[in-house]
Amino acid sequence: MKKILLLIAFMLLTLTGCGEKNIEDAIKDFSNDVENSKSYKLNGTMEISSGEEIFTYNIDTYFLKDNYYKVILVNQTNNHEQIILKNADGLYVVTPSLNKSFKFDSVWPENSSQAYLLQNLVNDVKNDSGATLEKTDSGYIIKSTVNYPNNEELTYQKIYFDNDMNINKVEVYNNEDIVKIKVTFKSVDLKAKLDEDDFLLDDLIDTEANTDNETNTECDGENCDNQNTCEGENCDEQTNATLDSIIYPLYIPSNTHLSSSETIDTETGERVILTFSGDKNFVIVEEVAKVSNEFEVIPVFGDPLMLNESVGAISSNSISWHAGDVSYYLVSSDLSTAELISVAKSLGNASTVISTK
């Protein structure tokens, strides 16, 4: 009789979940999968919530041990593409439409959380002694704190797995429990067989633009004259780009106001300088984004920064970025990092656009 009772107890224990993981097992399984991967490919979407707007990107992530990364981001609304590339030569943010790349002096991505990089997710859960595990009908959810030094409103994340601990989704929350970033993985290949040739900067260069430029210079006679001459209004339009509108920030710190707006002509077109004065002084420079004739690498200080519509560059007192065919530069010795980002994200709101025509 005792044997029968013991057998029944063992069967009940098995059926009631002795196979379920605890937080230590879940973290170990997840970290082992990532750390044992020599290279991986991820494909999915990323949603960034800003106020009432949601900005959605198609995202492809490539990783190769050690320290090779390529993240391709395509805005679903305007098809604007940017690539974050890290290889043996350094860290770059490439904008193919401008035929330009910004080269950073940065330790990215080790210095912050990143919802689309598996190593960073592993580090987050390992570094949080209070990480928790929730079992659901479809799998597991690990909840952990995050480290976004350039976005302090982001406080914790939930990482979703199926029953076999395959990652499905990441949600990053603010302190009001609102999802601000959501990455949904459509495919995950932890055995991608990538090599260093998959992380070459030259492969990201807009060769079509360079080919067009070469074609324009190899001409003679009448055809050459037609390609290289212009007159009247057409010539002015080609050489002097003008802004269709001046874009003002929706967010301005208290006791601060627009003190001047100046439009100046440069060799390449119009430049607008907006000066804000008061308790928090800052300056915004706007100009038409220029396409380089030859691929251009521009050195910058700071780190890559994911804004609503673009990947920019943030330093201790400035942010520069490109969005909507306009290049922006924001600088201040008075604004905090959080305030710099708030001003930058508020630019482009429809209610703050005033036509110059």
DSSP string for residues in 307-344 = -SS-EEEE-SSEEEEEETTEEEEEE-SSS-HHHHHHHH
Q: Is the pLDDT of residue 279 over 50?
A: yes
> Could you tell me the two tokens for 330?
């924001």
1-15, 110-124, 240-254, 257-271: the lowest-pLDDT one: 1-15
pLDDT at 241: 67
Contact by Cβ (8 Å): 257, 229: no
Give the pLDDT band of residue 8 (cuts 50, 70, 90): low
Alpha carbon separation from 23 to 88, 128, 140, 145, 157 (Å, rounded): 36, 11, 10, 14, 15
Q: What is the pLDDT of residues 20-40, one digit of tens each?
A: 789 999 999 999 999 999 999
Distance from C-alpha of 285 to C-alpha of 273, rounded to nearest angstrom: 5
Q: Is the pLDDT of residue 237 over 80?
A: no
Residue 37 phi/psi, 5-degree rounding, is: -85, 125
Distance from C-alpha of 289 to C-alpha of 287, rounded to nearest angstrom: 6
- The kind and range of the H/E element at 203 are none
Q: Bigger pLDDT: 211 or 123?
A: 123
Give the mean pLDDT of the chain. 85
Q: What's the full length of the chain, in residues?
A: 357
Q: Is the pLDDT of residue 216 over 60?
A: no
Residue 109 exposure: Cα atoms within 13 Å on the Cβ side: 27
Of residues 322, 104, 293, 159, the one with CA closest to residue 213: 293
End-to-end CA distance of the chain: 94
Highest-confidence segment of 223-237, 240-254, 319-333: 319-333
Q: Is the pLDDT of residue 347 over 60?
A: yes
Of residues 301, 258, 282, 264, the one with CA closest to residue 343: 282
Contact by Cβ (8 Å): 39, 194: yes
Order of all β-strands in the sheet with 39-50: 132-135, 139-145, 154-162, 167-174, 179-189, 39-50, 53-64, 68-75, 81-87, 90-95, 100-105, 296-301
Distance from C-alpha of 28 to C-alpha of 327, rounded to nearest angstrom: 45
Give the pLDDT band of residue 7 (cuts 50, 70, 90): low
Q: Which domains can be identified in the chain, with CATH numbers?
A: 21-196 (2.50.20.10), 239-355 (3.30.200.100)
> Could you tell me how far CA 249 lies from the centroid of its own chain?
21
Q: What is the pLDDT of residues 60-89, one digit of tens each?
A: 999 999 899 999 999 999 899 999 999 999
Q: Is the pLDDT of residue 15 over 50?
A: no
Q: Which residues contact 214 (CB under 8 A, 6 or more apart)?
A: none
pLDDT at 66: 86
Q: What is the pLDDT of residues 104-149, one digit of tens each?
A: 989 999 989 999 999 999 999 999 999 999 999 999 999 999 999 9
Q: What is the mean pLDDT of residues 208-226?
A: 46
> Could you tell me the two tokens for 243?
């802004």
Q: Which residue has the tokens 């999915």?
A: 44
